[in-house]
Amino acid sequence: MLTLIFFFCLLNSLLLTGSFTHPKCFWRMKQEEDGDVVTGCVFFLDAELIPMDKDYLDILLDKLISTRNYQVVFPLAFAMEEINGNPHLLPNVSLIFYVFANNCNDKQEFPNLTYIAAKSNLLLLNNMCAEDLKCQVAITGPISAISMSLAPYTQLYKHLQLTYGPFYDILSDHEQFPYLHQMAPKDTALALAMVSVIIHFSWNWVGLAISDDDQGIQFLSDLRGETKAKAVCLAFVIMIPVDTYLYMSRAEVYYSQIVTSSTSVVIIYGGTDSTLAVSFRMWDSLGLQRLLITTSQWDVITSKRDYTLHSFHGTLAFAHHHGEISGLKSYVQTFNPSEYTDILLARLGWMYFDCEASTSKCKTLENCSLNASLDWLMLKSFDIVFSDVSYDVYNAVYAVAHALHDMLLQQVEYQPFNTERLLKSDCSQLHPIFKKIHFINPVGDAIHMNQKEKLQPEYDIYLIRSFPHGVGLKVKVGEFNPTHFPHGYQLHLSEDMIEWATGSREVPSSVCSVECDPGFRKFHQEGMSACCFDCVPCTENEISNETGLDQCLKCPEDQYANTEHNQCILKAMIYLAFDDPLGMALSCMALCFSVFTALVLGVFVRHHDTPIVKANNLTLSYILLISLVFCFLCSLLFIGRPNSVTCVLQQTTYAVVFTVAVSTVLAKTVTVVLAFKVTAPGRRMRWLLVSGAPNYIIPFCTIIQIIVCAIWLGASPPSVDTDAHSEHGHIIIVCNKGSGPAFYCVLGYLGSLALASFILAFLARNLPDTFNEAKLLTFSMLLFCSVWVTFLPVYHSTKGKVMVAVEVFSILASSAGLLGCIFVPKCYIILLRPERNSLQKLREKTSS
């Protein structure tokens, strides 16, 4: 009594500290005896015309209730009582079940009995002699060994055999087991369900421990297919051999694989009667703490675990989804409680708290007084109602009843009705009917005995938490429905129902590598798993604006990456503008030189009758000065936002105007040479100078340049272009030269004219005369050629608006060189040394 009160107080205090929500919460107490014994039962169903003796059923239940097979016995007896009391199902026929004595306690007991029976050529079913054998149905499980042991004999006598417990692929071979039917559906979606939960919690690094048998290998294949598609990696795969001796020789290796792995989540799949279960118990005893993902059949194994309240580990168990077997709870509570109350409280692992449980919080219990606590603890129902094993057994009994019912109906239609003779016949008529049977059970679920017609199973997901002293809590936290929901929406988890063993809702982490932050990308080293990687920063002009990207994204041409490489920023549109300091300086220089050139032209016009002005062809001087004004002004076309018009004008204007200027210098140079070389009497070429032939050089050379420019504009004219790469964070608007060869033809033509002028002026540099400007022309052409020879490499080594500035500066420098070298010395004499600007000084120089 004191023990019961202690447990009630402990459970009540834990309820007050929990925060789990409805619909289903189970508290459990650790079983102290035979906790690790995995047992099974073999029952035989028989149909009789006499009613089932209630005393016989009570004796059987009292005998079996002390074993751990209450999850099989109660639903079996309950289903039979329901069917026997149903006037519409098997009327006037009663179902009765038999069981071998003590076969529930030892899974070796039944094989021993069948061996003895086989040795004496008898199968001892229900203690009947061979001549009295009739159609019976065997219900076996939950482990495959028991079902396989009985299968040869059921096949020999053509008896139906139904199995409860997990679905085994080996038992689905109808050639080897033609009369065997599994009640559990095949777990075709179990791997997908588990991986969906793993993805939901952002885990990608999980371990796997399976039995090394057909069942485990098939699950491994399914799991690998799902993990590969969902980018989940297996940190390790431990395949526990079935052979105990082989397992013991490798046990330490298996344990080392788990403890050395960085994963916090381990999937366990296999039979609870296998060496995998033995291995798990050993790992647990060594203090291995991992969050387990497994199936509902492992509830018995995981219920042995004791944890501290500060441990975050627990178990996520997947159970087949089905409704509650209505009435079973009351049946368990009311069946002869005085005989088994103490045993149940000591041995049953699950207790369902439903005094008046709040619909929102499991922790809230109302109307549970301390005086009624003992009765409340004794009368509460258990996990039997929701167990997969209980549900399978319940459906098996109903399937047999429906098959027998259909067989009797067919007998009425085709043969004289003789129920007793039919019930005592073999199962040859029952078996084909059973394979086609489908019905709606009292729970409301559709049951199909044809495995091909069974839908993919739905799963309930339970979070199992364990506490000290063997007390635990099992909470339904979600469902997985692959049948009625599209892909991606099949998992439904209630986050507010999930509270991990730490007492917080923070999800445990299980990843090989922490996801890369924005600005970084994953770098996979050779030989490493896909989930293990390093994080490296994105390269220039690339970003990653999300967590965990495999590749960085390149910014568009009109955008650039910020310093954190997690965002693309729109580039600013720039060009050599007038308000830009560089553009402003060049504009001022162009205007100043233009004004200065105009002033020089004014000086020459005002002093046009002086010897120094008339000495070297006044007309050519005017043409050169005017062309220089336009040379300075055309540089303004290069400044400001480029457009289609300015791009065409800036190249052609400067080409033509400079051609005029350089050809004028060439004409002046030719005039000087002719003046001193061919003006002597009797020279045949004197008429060239007298007729003004040098003046025709200007239009001739200009026309050639205009033709070249026309070809340029016709082939590939200059156009507006953008340069998004020269300057970080900016898009530079520039004028594309169009045809590169045409551009260099224009420059080459200008260079050839300048070179010709330079050569002629250099040859005439030592000619006598006060006003001989051959030396001035030589220096001007030398400066001109130097500027443009320097321009070419500098122009190609710069980008963007600096390149435009270089071209503008070259125009201004070369034009200023012509102006300074040719006209500034003359203006100096005209304005500051007028005494030298006279015929007398000219004659003195000539005579000397």
Asked whether residue 426 carries a pLDDT value surpassing 80, the answer given is no
Residue 552: the pLDDT is 92
Nearest alpha-carbon partner for 721 in 745, 740, 738: 738
Question: 11 vs 4, 16, 32, 174, 452, CA distance in Å?
Answer: 11, 9, 18, 48, 45
Asked whether residue 509 carries a pLDDT value surpassing 70, the answer given is yes
Tell me what the mean pLDDT of segment 50-65 comes to.
Answer: 61
Tell me what the mean pLDDT of segment 383-392 comes to.
Answer: 75
* Residue 367: inside a domain: no
Residue 714: the pLDDT is 86
Task: CATH number of the domain at 311, please.
Answer: 3.40.50.2300
Residue 303 shares a structural domain with residue 404: no
Task: CATH number of the domain at 779, please.
Answer: 1.20.1070.10
Residue 800 shares a structural domain with residue 656: yes
* Residue 778: inside a domain: yes
Coil/strand/helix, residue 459: strand
Tell me what the mean pLDDT of segment 375-394 comes to.
Answer: 62
* Residue 139: inside a domain: yes
Q: Side chain identity at 648, as an amino acid letter? A: V
Which domain covers residue 533, as residue numbers? 520-570
At which of 449, 476, 505 does a domain end?
A: 449
Residue 718 shares a structural domain with residue 745: yes
| Cα gap 334→391, rounded to integer Å | 20
Residue 646 shares a structural domain with residue 684: yes
ω into residue 337 within 30 of 0, thus cis? no
Residue 616 shares a structural domain with residue 762: yes
| Cα gap 402→406, rounded to integer Å | 6
Furthest-apart CA atoms within the chain: distance in Å:
163
Tell me what the mean pLDDT of segment 680-706 comes to.
Answer: 69
Number of H helices and number of E strands within the chain? 26, 26
Count how many Cα atoms sit within 13 Å of the Cα of residue 822 in the half-sphere of its side chain: 34
Task: Write out the H or E segment, with its range, that includes residue 573.
Answer: strand 572-574
Residue 130: the pLDDT is 44
524 phi-psi bin (left φ>0, alpha ψ -120 to 50, beta other): beta
Asked whether residue 430 carries a pLDDT value surpassing 90, the answer given is no
* Residue 309: inside a domain: yes
pLDDT in tens, 761-801: 777 666 655 555 677 777 888 888 888 788 878 877 887 77
pLDDT in tens, 238-259: 999 988 888 888 888 989 888 8
Tell me what the mean pLDDT of segment 350-375 comes to.
Answer: 36
Residue 229: the pLDDT is 80
* Residue 347: inside a domain: no
| Cα gap 35→180, rounded to integer Å | 30
At which of 449, 469, 486 does a domain end?
A: 449
Residue 757: the pLDDT is 82
In this structure, are residues 522 and 550 in contact, taking their beta carbons and an 8 Å threshold? Answer: yes
Residue 61: the pLDDT is 62
Tell me what the mean pLDDT of segment 795-813 comes to.
Answer: 84
Structure tokens, 587: 């504009």
Asked whether residue 835 carries a pLDDT value surpassing 70, the answer given is yes
Asked whether residue 371 carries a pLDDT value surpassing 50, the answer given is no
Tokens 């060189």, residue? Answer: 817
End-to-end alpha carbon distance in the chain: 148
Q: Which one is predicted more confidently, 391 or 347? A: 391
Residue 513: the pLDDT is 87
Q: Which one is predicted more confidently, 108 or 458? A: 458
pLDDT band at 576 (very low <50, low <70, confident <90, very high): confident
Asked whether residue 124 carries a pLDDT value surpassing 50, the answer given is no
Q: What does pLDDT average to over the chain?
A: 75
Count of C-beta atoms within a 10 Å radius of residue 529: 14
Question: 370 vs 1, 12, 373, 720, 823, CA distance in Å?
Answer: 13, 11, 5, 91, 121
DSSP for 218-275, please give it.
HHHHHHHHHHHHTT-EEEEEEEE-SSHHHHHHHHHHHHHHHHHS--SEEEEES-TTSH
Tell me what the mean pLDDT of segment 172-201 comes to.
Answer: 89
| Cα gap 182→448, rounded to integer Å | 11
Residue 328: the pLDDT is 80
Tell me what the mean pLDDT of segment 649-676 comes to.
Answer: 82
| Cα gap 556→563, rounded to integer Å | 16
Residue 626: the pLDDT is 92
Among the ranges 162-176, 443-457, 485-499, which has the highest mean pLDDT value?
Answer: 162-176
In this structure, are residues 801 and 794 in contact, taking their beta carbons and an 8 Å threshold? Answer: no
Tell me what the mean pLDDT of segment 362-391 comes to.
Answer: 48
Asked whether residue 411 carries a pLDDT value surpassing 80, the answer given is no
Count of C-beta atoms within a 10 Å radius of residue 754: 26
Residue 345: the pLDDT is 39
Residue 799: the pLDDT is 78
Asked whether residue 432 carries a pLDDT value surpassing 70, the answer given is yes
Q: Determine phi and psi for 352, rounding to 5 degrees.
A: -105, 115
Asked whether residue 335 carries a pLDDT value surpassing 90, the answer given is no
Residue 780 shares a structural domain with residue 830: yes
Q: Determine phi and psi for 449, rounding to 5 degrees.
A: -80, -15
* Residue 366: inside a domain: no
Coil/strand/helix, residue 265: strand
Tell me what the mean pLDDT of segment 156-164 comes to.
Answer: 85
Asked whether residue 460 carries a pLDDT value surpassing 80, the answer given is yes
Count of C-beta atoms within a 10 Å radius of residue 403: 24
Tell me what the mean pLDDT of segment 819-841 comes to.
Answer: 80
Residue 472: the pLDDT is 62
Residue 301 shares a structural domain with residue 180: no
pLDDT band at 467 (very low <50, low <70, confident <90, very high): low
pLDDT in tens, 19-41: 333 344 544 444 444 444 445 57
Q: Determine phi and psi for 160, rounding to 5 degrees.
A: -70, 145
State how many domains the chain has: 4
The vertex-84 CA angle with 82 and 89, nearest 5°, equals 90
Residue 624 shares a structural domain with residue 769: yes
Tokens 């200009």, residue? Answer: 702
Q: Determine phi and psi for 66, rounding to 5 degrees.
A: -75, -10
Q: Which one is predicted more confidently, 362 or 509? A: 509
Q: Determine phi and psi for 730, rounding to 5 degrees.
A: -135, 150
Coil/strand/helix, residue 832: coil
| Cα gap 324→329, rounded to integer Å | 9
Tell me what the mean pLDDT of segment 66-83 comes to.
Answer: 77
Tell me what the mean pLDDT of segment 124-132 comes to.
Answer: 43
Residue 773 shares a structural domain with residue 818: yes
DSSP label at residue 556: P
Residue 398 shares a structural domain with residue 308: no
Residue 375: the pLDDT is 38
Residue 463 shares a structural domain with residue 587: no
Count of C-beta atoms within a 10 Å radius of residue 161: 24
Tell me what the mean pLDDT of segment 88-96 comes to.
Answer: 84
* Residue 505: inside a domain: no
Asked whether residue 237 carries a pLDDT value surpassing 90, the answer given is yes
527 phi-psi bin (left φ>0, alpha ψ -120 to 50, beta other): left
Return the sign of the alpha-carbon dihedral for residues 386, 74, 79, 183. Answer: positive
Tell me what the mean pLDDT of segment 435-454 comes to.
Answer: 83
Residue 544: the pLDDT is 92
Coil/strand/helix, residue 628: helix
Asked whether residue 185 carries a pLDDT value surpassing 80, the answer given is yes
Residue 232 shares a structural domain with residue 295: yes
Among the ranges given (406-415, 484-493, 736-745, 807-816), the one the predictor scored with the smallest mean pLDDT:
406-415
Q: Determine phi and psi for 260, rounding to 5 degrees.
A: -85, -10
Percent of the chain exceeding pLDDT 90 equals: 12
Residue 520: the pLDDT is 93
In this structure, are residues 492 and 481 in contact, taking their beta carbons and an 8 Å threshold? Answer: yes
| Cα gap 787→584, rounded to integer Å | 22
| Cα gap 39→354, rounded to integer Å | 30
Residue 188: the pLDDT is 85
* Residue 349: inside a domain: no
